[in-house]
Structure 1
Amino acid sequence: MSTPRFLDLPPGVAPQRIETPQGTFAALEALPVSGVVERWPALLVPGVTGSKEDFIAVLMTLAQSGRRVVAVDLRGQFETPGPEDPDAYTCAALGADVDLLAQVIGGGDPVHLVGHSFGGLVAREAAVDGRTKFASLTLMSSGPAAIKGRRARNGRKIMEEVPELGLEHVWHHRLEPEALANDVSDDIMVFLHKRLITNSPIGLTRMAEQVLTMHDRTDELRQIEVPTLVLYGEHDDGWPPQTQSEMAARLGAECVVVPGAVHSPAVEAPETTAAALVRFWNTAEKHYLDLRSTMM
């Protein structure tokens, strides 16, 4: 596995492959450039059309808090292979993959779990299924149920067009025009194109279907009692900010609104996003250790 040469990796960040009983997952691993790993690790899960590279801008800062931080491609995404079975790409199946990844990455320690957009729905499944006890859960630009608005329309187009017309059609008629409108550089355009067409068409279609039909599991998540952060951009065009704020209130979760950001705070406001995550993780660990000391 090799990261595209035009996506420069920060110091301390390197491509890896994570072996699990379910298979091998492509990852970017970040370790502290100075100091040692002394805090619990973190696992970062991307959205439907995303990949581990969506977290590049925050990886070094997160690792410098004394952690091993791992961003992954889900099965069928970019550099992680996936099967032809559509049932392998449900939120429940992908959540089970996240459980295994967390158990391998944690090596016995609790793991901080972060899910972006569709990755938040997957991360929620991993928390709710009870197979793994997470140190914390962050829902980044992710809502309680099906996605809304413009991104929902794009998801429906993916469902309709990928099986019949293929990934190249989706690139030229959906993602490329959006990237051009956002003045994306030529090198990044090359990467975005490669990433899309490397996806499993079956996986991408089923993930799009999942993000459009997911039911609300907020009440179930609250019963897990895992420390939870809801973080989103003030101009989010996926799940409305008000919807995410209401979800945080239902969860009794901390809520952070990232000024100026839209749907990808880790890309659009990396330092603000990383600072919020580190602060939340440190607080969650302190609470756990304080609670354990009172029980001894």
Structure 2
Amino acid sequence: MTESSSPSPFPPPPGARAYHLRTGRGRFAVVDAPVPDGVEPRGVALLMPGFTGSKEDFHRLHGPLAARGYRVVAVDGRGQNESDGPADDESPYAREELARDALAQAAALDTPLHLVGHSLGGQIARAAVLLDPSPFVSFTLMASGPAEISESQKQRVKLLHDALAVMTMPQVWEAILAMGPPEEVGGPASGSLAPELLRRRWLNHKPAQLLATGRQLLAEPNRVAELAAVALPFHVLSGALDDTWPVPLLDAMAVELGARRTIIAGAEHSPNQEQPLATARALADFFDLHPGDRNRP
């Protein structure tokens, strides 16, 4: 693994480091939490965030997963928050390009990985697995569905696209705040970060990334049958409510995949933030079932 360090305004959780992971496809900002002394290492997890989100969305999972023996590496995708990307050219944000970024991140970490993708991150992770499942020990889809998002969330994404077409990123941020507390996939102002850091994260996102990935959410094809043909253990985890992909849809996807199914009580679209201890426990319980090759150099 190669890396470069630089000061970040987004403080990592206790025991973790923030740095830029060098890969064959560029540098990606990560938060990396090692297993603490005295705990037996059991594996490594790569966590990919959702639309308008970032690696900071997983801050509350690092500690409890590390305590279970899992090093956790959460990543900003190309054009997300602290990972660079073009502001106006959408072509580097095509689904296959983002999937190849995920494979490059896995190659740079150079160890078998438990792959976890939240929402949009789950669909990008799915595309990576379909290109090459070999780096991965298991794959968890967290609040991430089989195809396009729900009609109500499509309206939110379309509103965001319309705003980005005529307003600057700071102006769009003010409009988001004026509309009241956002929800689900259309909620860049929600999360566990302080308000100023939420704003800074939004301004760090590249408009082309938001436009390209938003269109993907509106038109994602159903690739569950393709995924089911891959020889990996699958886990479908969600909150008890979800307006982006309704829970019965996620239940059916889990059946088609032959996946472990976990529903986190008291959580909605972001169980990683809303119920982090229960979510970390469910992830670690699944990882424990699939240890992979711990002897690989």
2:14 maps to which of 2, 11, 16 = 11
Alpha-carbon spacing, 1:129–1:231, altered in 2? closer, same or farther (3 Å): same
1:135 partner SS: strand
1:146 maps to which of 145, 148, 162 = 148
Deviation of 1:44 (Å):
0.3
Note if 1:276 corresponds to 2:278.
no
Deviation of 1:178 (Å):
4.0
AA matched with 1:4: P
Which residue in 2 is equivalent to 1:25? 28
Deviation sequence 1:172-222 (CA, Å, 0-9, x none): 222564448999799711111111111111111111111111100000001
Note if 1:110 corresponds to 2:112.
yes
1:53 maps to which of 36, 51, 56 = 56
How many residues align? The count is 283
Contact preservation (8 Å) 1:49, 1:204:
yes
User: Aligned residues: percent identity?
Assistant: 36
Contact preservation (8 Å) 2:35, 2:41:
no
Deviation of 1:3 (Å):
4.0
After the TM superposition, which residues 1-296 of structure 1 pair with which residues of structure 2 at under 5 Å, given as runs?
Answer: 1-4=6-9, 9-35=12-38, 38-83=41-86, 84-105=88-109, 107=110, 109-130=111-132, 132-174=134-176, 177-179=179-181, 188-285=194-291, 288=292
TM-score, length basis structure 2: 0.89
Deviation of 1:157 (Å):
1.4
Alpha-carbon spacing, 1:206–1:235, altered in 2? closer, same or farther (3 Å): same
Deviation of 1:36 (Å):
5.3
AA matched with 2:149: I
2:268 partner SS: coil
Alpha-carbon spacing, 1:101–1:258, altered in 2? closer, same or farther (3 Å): same
Please give the alpha-carbon distance, in whole angstroms, between the structure 2 residues aligned to 1:30 and 1:152.
35
Please give the alpha-carbon distance, in whole angstroms, between the structure 2 residues aligned to 1:180 and 1:128.
32
Contact preservation (8 Å) 1:114, 1:140:
yes
2:245 partner SS: coil
Which residue in 1 is equivalent to 2:3? none
Deviation of 1:154 (Å):
1.4
Q: Which has the higher helix share?
A: 1
Deviation of 1:231 (Å):
0.4
TM-score, length basis structure 1: 0.89
AA matched with 1:79: E
Alpha-carbon spacing, 1:278–1:175, altered in 2? closer, same or farther (3 Å): farther
Contact preservation (8 Å) 1:40, 1:67:
yes
Deviation of 1:35 (Å):
2.5
Contact preservation (8 Å) 1:139, 1:231:
yes
Alpha-carbon spacing, 1:184–1:239, altered in 2? closer, same or farther (3 Å): closer
Deviation of 1:168 (Å):
2.2
Contact preservation (8 Å) 2:107, 2:135:
no
Deviation sequence 1:47-82 (CA, Å, 0-9, x none): 110000000011111122223210010010110000
Deviation of 1:32 (Å):
1.9
Unaligned runs of 5+ in 1: 290-296
Deviation sequence 1:120-163 (CA, Å, 0-9, x none): 00000010112643100000000000111432221111222213
Query: How large is the Cα RMSD of the aligned pairs?
Result: 2.3
Please give the alpha-carbon distance, in whole angstroms, between the structure 2 residues aligned to 1:90 and 1:272.
34
Deviation of 1:260 (Å):
1.1
